[in-house]
Structure 1
Amino acid sequence: MVLESAKSATMTSQSGEKQQLLLENHKEKHFMAGEVVRDVIMGVSDGLTVPFALAAGLSGAKAPSSLILTAGLAEVAAGAISMGLGGYLAAKSEADHYMRELKREQEEIINVPDTEAAEIAEILSQYGLEPHEYAPVVNSLRRNPQAWLEFMMKFELGLEKPEPRRALESALTIAIAYVVGGLVPLLPYVFVRKAQKAMFTSIGVTIAALLFFGYVKGHFTGNRPVVSALQTALIGAIASAAAYAMAKSVQGF
């Protein structure tokens, strides 16, 4: 009997060592900067499109390059502040929501533990576990309130704990990305005095930037890069064409 117990313990130890070795050798490649990429995409996309459309519209109204450049830079500054503030408020709202739900779950675990334990069982049963399989998990979580709370936040509410500086980082990322994108369609107006020539140069530069940005965006978001590039460029072209046509039609009155 003693020998069988020793043999079982040895096999368990070897199995654990094997699993640990497998985990050490297996490195999953997950992209972990999704929120940052989302902010960059949001900032650059709007930064390329809005000033581009504004410059095209003013060019259609036959405004001089100096005026287009001044108006464009003002729009970039205002847009960066607006977009950055929007990103800050959105991230702050997510953090506030998480803290409210965290407090509510803490109170429920203290006040109605049996109900919360039943919710754990229900969640685990949805993954195909039988009562005799999930009962030890439920009991283990009940002995560890912090793990219990984290389990409920993630699996019941689907909420991940936000980074403490997420709101500020989001605001800065979006604002900087907007400025970088917004300067691209305005650069030709710095070097070309005639607005019409500057506009055509701006169109070429911006379309190229939209294609490149769309391709990179598709690569990071898992979409087909070529399709993403064409879609992004098409949206920018439509926006600028609409602004140009509107300026021309208003000028006719």
Structure 2
Amino acid sequence: MAAQETDTSTTGLIDSEEDRESFNNGGDGATTSRPKEPWKGEYGKSIIYAGLDAIVTCFSLISSISASRQSSADVLVLGFANLVADGISMGVGDFLSSSSENDVAAKERAVTEWDVTNHGGPEKMELLQKYQALGMDVDDAATVVSIFAKYKNILVQEKMMVHGMLPPEEAEKPWKNGLVTFAAFLVFGTAPLLSFIILIPFTNNEMVKFVGACILSALALALLGIAKAKIAGRNYAFSVAVTLFNGAIAAAAAYAVGWTLKNIAGLED
């Protein structure tokens, strides 16, 4: 009987078909379809960031080398050396960044717990003022704060959110973030270089290989643009266009620098 009463209490707000439809459409009676949720991949950010940086960096290097009319051997040696070095740097950087964020969050939580335990009054008053600033009625804000005050962990987390600090992620492993960043950098950064490997048996024309690198880089950037749109729940075409534009601008700038140094500044072999 108690279980039945509990079920009734939790479903009483949506006990009619109309209420259920309203709830499914956002709770306000709207008839528009529910917006698509973003993809919640755990390492999506690391993959997108490292992949985009790898493609742009590697292709920009290829562009500058091609503009100075160096050989495919130079492209491959410099390209892969730069790829491995930057990949290690990116991976270690992501690891250190994630570790630092967790350390800062843990320290902030310890400080907040102490403040809540030893200076509960001012801490609750700060929360009360924050909720009022967000538009909550003073009586409702006082009720919410008094309820949170019964649960120390919840109160601590709310206080951290007020200060713009997310609670430390217990399940997050910084070394995994670093490893994913390194792997993504190598995988996507290899795309522009594949043309200079695949076309070796078919042609010695450096321009043909460079065009192939352009095509492979564009495909890799488009793939990242699609992934970015999937994660953020944005328009696919717009995301791909922005990603391609970013890569094109970076590559054009690198090509212009290489051509200028070779043909105008007089840096001959």
User: What's the TM-score, normalizing by structure 1?
Assistant: 0.83
Deviation larger for 182-191 or 55-64: 55-64
Q: Which residue, 207, 211, 217 being the options, matches 1:200?
A: 211
Which residue in the other structure is 2:244 paired with?
233
Deviation at 1:239, TM superposition (A): 2.0
Amino acid at match of 1:239: A
Which residue in the other structure is 1:85 paired with?
92
The Cα RMSD (Å) is: 2.8
Which residue in the other structure is 1:16 paired with?
10
User: Equivalent residues in 2 for 1:199-218 (5 A)?
Assistant: 199-218=210-229
User: Any conservation in 2 of the 1:65–1:192 contact (CA below 8 Å)?
Assistant: no
Q: Is 2:189 the counterpart of 1:182? A: yes
Which residue in the other structure is 1:94 paired with?
101
* In structure 2, C-alpha distance between the alignment counterparts of 1:70 and 1:232, rounded to whole Å: 27
Deviation larger for 138-147 or 66-75: 138-147
Deviation at 1:187, TM superposition (A): 0.4
* In structure 2, C-alpha distance between the alignment counterparts of 1:138 and 1:73, rounded to whole Å: 57
Amino acid at match of 2:153: Q
Deviation larger for 13-22 or 137-146: 13-22
Which residue in the other structure is 2:254 paired with?
243
Deviation larger for 65-74 or 127-136: 127-136
* In structure 2, C-alpha distance between the alignment counterparts of 1:190 and 1:222, rounded to whole Å: 36
Which residue in the other structure is 1:33 paired with?
40
Which residue in the other structure is 1:75 paired with?
82
Amino acid at match of 1:211: A
Amino acid at match of 1:198: K
* In structure 1, C-alpha distance between the alignment counterparts of 2:145 and 2:230, rounded to whole Å: 41
1:130 to 1:11, Cα distance in 2 relative to 1, 3 A = farther
* In structure 2, C-alpha distance between the alignment counterparts of 1:238 and 1:45, rounded to whole Å: 13
Deviation at 1:106, TM superposition (A): 1.2
Amino acid at match of 2:211: F
Provide structure 2 residue ranges, at least 5 long, that are not aligned to the other structure.
27-33
Cα deviations by residue, 1:43-62 (Å, 9 ceiling, x for unpaired): 11011111111112212222
Deviation at 1:140, TM superposition (A): 2.7
User: Any conservation in 2 of the 1:55–1:68 contact (CA below 8 Å)?
Assistant: yes
Aligned length: 242
User: Any conservation in 2 of the 1:123–1:156 contact (CA below 8 Å)?
Assistant: no
Which residue in the other structure is 1:46 paired with?
53
* In structure 2, C-alpha distance between the alignment counterparts of 1:95 and 1:101, rounded to whole Å: 10
Deviation at 1:156, TM superposition (A): 4.4
Deviation at 1:165, TM superposition (A): 3.2
1:116 to 1:20, Cα distance in 2 relative to 1, 3 A = farther
Higher helix share: 1
Deviation at 1:82, TM superposition (A): 1.0
Amino acid at match of 1:243: A
- Specify the SS of the correspondent of 1:54: helix
Deviation at 1:192, TM superposition (A): 2.5
* In structure 2, C-alpha distance between the alignment counterparts of 1:248 and 1:129, rounded to whole Å: 61
* In structure 1, C-alpha distance between the alignment counterparts of 2:243 and 2:7, rounded to whole Å: 55
User: Equivalent residues in 2 for 1:72-221 (5 A)?
Assistant: 72-193=79-200, 194=204, 195-221=206-232
User: What's the TM-score, normalizing by structure 2?
Assistant: 0.78
Q: Which residue, 60, 68, 73 being the options, matches 1:66?
A: 73
Cα deviations by residue, 1:161-209 (Å, 9 ceiling, x for unpaired): 3244342222112111111111100001112242222111111221222
* In structure 2, C-alpha distance between the alignment counterparts of 1:121 and 1:242, rounded to whole Å: 53
Deviation at 1:131, TM superposition (A): 3.6
Provide structure 1 residue ranges, at least 5 long, that are not aligned to the other structure.
1-9
